[in-house]
Chains A and B, each alone.
Chain A
Amino acid sequence: MLPLLGTGCDGPLSSLDPASPQASAVADLWWIMLVGSGLVFLLVMTLLTLAFTSARRYLRRPHAIYILGGGLVFPATVLSVLLAYALFTGERLLADPARPAALRVQAMAAQWQWTFRYASGIEMSDRLVLPAGQPVDIAISSQDVIHSFWIPRLGGKIDALPGRIHVMRIISEQVGTYAGACAEFCGLNHAGMYFTVEVVPLAEFETVLRQAMDETRSN
């Protein structure tokens, strides 16, 4: 189904094996939240365990410490910091309007394949070729039901909706082959709606693109 992909041990669709600045930012966010959550979880579980031992007499503090301190101030502080960091990360992931895209590719979803159209008129199914290091805008839409465009190692997903066009900015810095998938349930063959993304050096981009189209045709 999928051609051989050069991947780490995590698997070709792993968001924990990021290959772009955007995907790395989100993976970092995940690891930070994991550590933070682990600490909060330990805190609650420690209090809970101590409550069942005689050590609970050391924990007997005025009710306000628990309800206002634990229930209100503690989460409000932690969550404000998290929200600020998340908004900051979110802004970084957005397309920088000052830097125009080098390329715009139309991604049209249909049950159950992706069609990628380039400005040069080249059109391919389930196979996307991108130049490395260049900002590319993918204009995503659907012909029928809702699908979702997702290349986990390069960034997050966005839905492909009929009647709407969503633009996603991708900058893939590492040359290589990546896997993409449809993430929104779209009917019988949803499980088979994968595609591949080949990121090639800018100099070879046009050549590889033409080759790829010829291969697709001969198939």
Chain B
Amino acid sequence: MAASGKSALLRHKDLQRAWCNPPGWGRLAAVNHSIIGRRFILTALAFFAIGGLLAMLLRAQLATSRSAFVGPEIYNQFFTMHGTVMMFLFAIPLFEGLAMYLLPKMLGSRDMAFPRLSAYGYWCYVLGGSILVVALAIGYAPDSGWFMYTPLSSKPYTPGINSDVWLIGITFVEISAISAAVEIAVSILRIRTGGMSLQRLPIFAWYMLVTAFMILVGFPPLILGSILLEVERAFGWPFFDPTRGGDPLLWQHLFWMFGHPEVYIIFLPAAGAISTILPVLSRQRLIGYSWLVASIIALGFISFGLWVHHMFTTGLPHLSLAFFSAASLLVVIPTSVQIFSWLATLVMGRPQLKLPMLYILGFFFVFVMGGLTGVMVGVVPFDWQAHDTHFVVAHLHYVLVGGFVFPMLAAAYYWLPRFTGRQAQHRLGLVAFWLIFLGFHGTFFLMHLTGLRGMPRRIFTYPVEMNWDVLNLISSMGSFVMAAGFALFVVDIILQLRFAPRSCRNPWQADTLEWTVPGPVPLYNFAALPHIRSRYPLKAQSGLALKLATGDGYLPEVRHGWMETLSVDMVSGRPDQIVLLPKPTYLPFFAALATAVFFLGALFKIYGLALAGLATAMTLFLVWAWHSGLQRDYGALPAGLGLSLPLHAETERPPAWWAMAFTLVADGTMFASLLFGGIFLLVVTPGEVQPAIASGAAMWLDIVIIGLLAGAVFAMRRTVRAVATPAPRQRLIGIAFVQQLLAAALLVYLIRAAPDAKAHAVHALSTAMLWYLALHVMVALVMTGFTIARGRCGYISATRSAEPRILLLWYTYVALAGLIGLALLRLISPVAP
């Protein structure tokens, strides 16, 4: 069914009909990646404005000694919220939005793998962020600093709701980070167009792939830490309370296991933008593609071995300080590989000083300085002086503004014609650049000296004798120049959206697929999906855009009103499935609202309401899952260019299987963090260890639970094998259900028999472990019940076997977690009952 006689216009109309999105209130039902990506970006910019406003208030307060502008109560909320907003509500959502908007267009696909999940993540982000902003507006914002060190953030020292707002609001927002990471990883690995092997992957996709995996491994420790701290605050389980066997350092470890990779999670997408833009504007292919791929993967790994360099002053053994200091310096190497391959690309090419390039030069200037001061604070003896002073404040702004904001501004000017279909105009943008660049250095350059002269972080006032007045006044003035630059940038973008003349399709002569998409961007991106023969398809395959518009490619026809895209073999890029994408639906919006009810219930300690919200959200997820899949087999369908492919529901490993696998990576990291907590309390925390499991609970109970979970795995494996024959299949899955039910009952018994979790941190941690296992078994029960119903209604067949396979993944994970978790509890409690 290659290029039929249909004209490009008629083809466009067919696709438009299948992909249209309802207007008015129907906008809440949008799931399309271009729409959701744009919303993420605009919302992130709104939060950037809030964070920036807070920064200006902070600088106004610090401009002079003994300033009477605000008191510490307000100031502490301001700086806590400035950091929180910029990290969680601006930086991460901004690059998630950019990735969602660009990736399908770069990968030659029509959407991300899970459009409803993108929409759900977006609503979680908006609602979670709103909790924080509303709290700020009414004066109940978090005020213990954005890393929420205990015991300052725990109940005795922050009795109000402030810390709860942070823990609950941020955990709510993290849902969107984790869901976006799963989605980005699966989309890059599976949802590409034909011929796009891993070697031909656009470099930006490599960066986002590594970023996505880093989020999956980097965020769970913080999510776990936040849950534990909230449970400590709400129910008195003393995980971090040193008076009851807990340890404030455990919080710091969990926080920085997230917090350090976080810096690279923010830097990598920005570096990906540079690796995309810089070669185009240098009229030279990127030099060292493979080296860059290797170095970002290396960066991903090394960044998880550095977290302790935020804790050099916490009295850790000197040998471990030396190790983490060496690791902190080691991470410089993959970063320099990138810097030097960019320099080589510039030197070998003929670089043009267009506006995006100017912002990239700003990046080089600022980020290299931030990297050099980073080496300095990685050196332990120097860090003992610089830590927690304004030197570190200056350093981190050089890294984050240099390594994220400047590249994102370059990206904004580079991709703006892609968003708007209008020409790039560069007059106001130039003025904005100089205001931001000079204002930035005005604010932060001399701040290094302020720090070396001893000004600690997070003080709301300082005495005149300290001799910090002049330096602070300069910083404050610089910050207002910088703010004017950002305001001008916003004005510039708005003017360009309205008045710039229409652009040609590929104004930069770029070589990635997003520039073949017509402007304004249609929701389906491509009228037909291209077959790729090069890493630089626009250079290698001339006239590609026109060919696609006339339907010369994969999936050119609309059938049954379906929205279709390709899925490919991960490595070779050979197409292997047709993925049916979901139509617009309100389910993600209402599921996010129900999730908000859960979090608000937890925040205001109305736990009945919280449970009702959770139950509603779960029900909506099940409805959502019910709408996927097929009740009959279609067999191989024509996919264009002479190829016939099965629908994704008729394969063993559809994208959802991979989503489950990657979700388990995140879940497994959370479990590993819990294990780390247990071992930490056992080995590192001073004081005696208490027996964990009540003496009534005998060892044989553990063995029975593990046996039941293993038995369920066995039954589920046989279910998968017997998937073609309904009667034995449904019987086997029923057996698995009963085994899980018994395991759940025994785990609940263990929880009830466990010693009082409030008495000692080790009891609290053991009970948390049992709850972790019990909740996982309960989720297994819900999913098993769902799969039984799906089998009855004809959604499962010999070819449509993915659902039991996905369930098998979960079962296997739960059984392994049960084995390791219960063994750890025995380890904590060495005396056999």
Contact = CB atoms under 8 A, between A and B. Distances in A.
Interface of A: 1-2, 4-5, 7, 9-16, 23, 25-26, 29-30, 33, 37, 40-41, 44-45, 47-48, 50-52, 56, 59-60, 63, 66-67, 69-72, 74-76, 79, 82-83, 86-87, 89-90, 93-94, 111, 144-146, 148, 150, 152, 155-159, 161-164, 166, 179, 181-191
A36 B386 CA distance: 18
Contact of A60 (B76, B243, B348, B381): B348
Interface string B618-635: 000000000000000000
24 contacts: A10-B453, A26-B385, A29-B381, A30-B385, A33-B379, A40-B372, A44-B343, A48-B346, A48-B364, A50-B347, A60-B347, A66-B287, A67-B291, A69-B340, A71-B341, A83-B326, A86-B381, A145-B151, A145-B152, A146-B151, A159-B313, A166-B315, A185-B152, A191-B72
B361 A48 contact: yes
A71 B466 contact: no
A17 to B, nearest CB: 9
A64 B137 CA distance: 55
Contact of A79 (B332, B340, B389, B468): B332
Given A72-B333, A72-B336, A146-B152, 7 more contacts: A11-B454, A15-B385, A44-B343, A82-B375, A83-B325, A158-B315, A163-B247
A123 B463 CA distance: 26
Contact of A87 (B322, B375, B388, B453): B322
B466 A13 contact: yes
A190 B341 contact: no
Interface centre among B313, B330, B455, B468, by most A CB within 10 Å?
A: B313
A40 B347 CA distance: 18
B453 A66 contact: no
B364 A1 contact: no
Contacts of A146: 149, 151-152, 248
Given A16-B453, A157-B388, A10 B467 contact: yes
Given A11-B453, A26-B381, A163-B242, A47 B315 contact: no
B457 A185 contact: yes
Contact of B456 (A4, A25, A48, A182): A182
Contacts of B332: 75, 79
B678 to A, nearest CB: 18
B401 interface: no
Contacts of B322: 87, 90
Interface string B352-383: 01000000010011001100110110011111
Given A14-B453, A71-B336, A157-B388, A186 B382 contact: no
Contact of B347 (A12, A15, A51, A148): A51
A70 B242 CA distance: 48
B339 interface: yes
A37 B291 CA distance: 25
B413 to A, nearest CB: 18
Given A15-B452, A45-B365, A71 B372 contact: no
A67 B288 contact: yes
Given A5-B465, A63-B287, A86 B455 contact: no
B450 to A, nearest CB: 10
B375 A37 contact: yes
Contacts of B368: 40-41, 44-45
Contacts of B460: 191
A142 B248 CA distance: 12
Contacts of A181: 454, 456
Contacts of B457: 183, 185
Contacts of B381: 25-26, 29, 86, 89-90, 93, 156
Interface string B154-168: 001100000000000
Contacts of A30: 376, 382, 385, 452
Interface residues of B, number: 82
Given A13-B466, A159-B313, A63 B336 contact: no
Contacts of A183: 313, 387-389, 456-457
B314 interface: yes
Contacts of B288: 63, 66-67
A166 B151 CA distance: 18
Contacts of A44: 339, 343, 364, 368
A111 B156 CA distance: 12
B462 interface: yes
A155 B383 CA distance: 11
A67 B344 contact: yes
Contacts of B456: 150, 181-183, 190
B389 to A, nearest CB: 7
A121 B140 CA distance: 44
5 residue pairs, one from A and one from B, having the closest CB atoms: A156-B384, A13-B454, A163-B242, A11-B467, A71-B337
A148 B459 CA distance: 14
A7 B344 CA distance: 49
Contacts of B341: 63, 66-67, 71
B114 to A, nearest CB: 37
A16 B452 contact: yes
A5 B364 CA distance: 42
Contacts of A5: 465
Nearest to A57: B347
A183 B388 CA distance: 6
A28 to B, nearest CB: 10
B329 interface: yes
A157 B385 contact: yes
A9 B467 contact: yes
B314 A51 contact: no
B524 to A, nearest CB: 40
B249 interface: yes
Contacts of B375: 33, 37, 79, 82
B122 to A, nearest CB: 33
A70 B287 contact: no
A11 B248 contact: no
Given A12-B466, A145-B152, A37 B343 contact: no
B461 interface: yes
A70 B458 contact: no
Interface centre among B156, B344, B348, by most A CB within 10 Å?
A: B344
B520 interface: no
B459 A191 contact: yes
B673 interface: no
A63 B288 CA distance: 7
B380 A72 contact: no
A71 B454 contact: no
Interface centre among B248, B318, B322, B468, by most A CB within 10 Å?
A: B248
B361 A13 contact: no
A186 B72 CA distance: 12
A126 to B, nearest CB: 14
Contact of A12 (B379, B389, B465): B465
Nearest to B391: A15
B294 to A, nearest CB: 10
Nearest to B333: A75
A189 B365 CA distance: 38
B315 A161 contact: yes
Contacts of A26: 381-382, 384-385
Given A29-B381, A146-B151, A56 B344 contact: no
B73 interface: yes
B357 to A, nearest CB: 9
Nearest to A25: B381
B59 to A, nearest CB: 16
A90 B375 CA distance: 15
Contacts of A184: 149, 388
Interface centre among A5, A59, A83, by most B CB within 10 Å?
A: A83
Given A44-B368, A71-B291, A185-B457, A158 B384 contact: yes
A156 B376 contact: no
B145 interface: yes
Contact of B336 (A10, A70, A90, A150): A70
A94 to B, nearest CB: 7
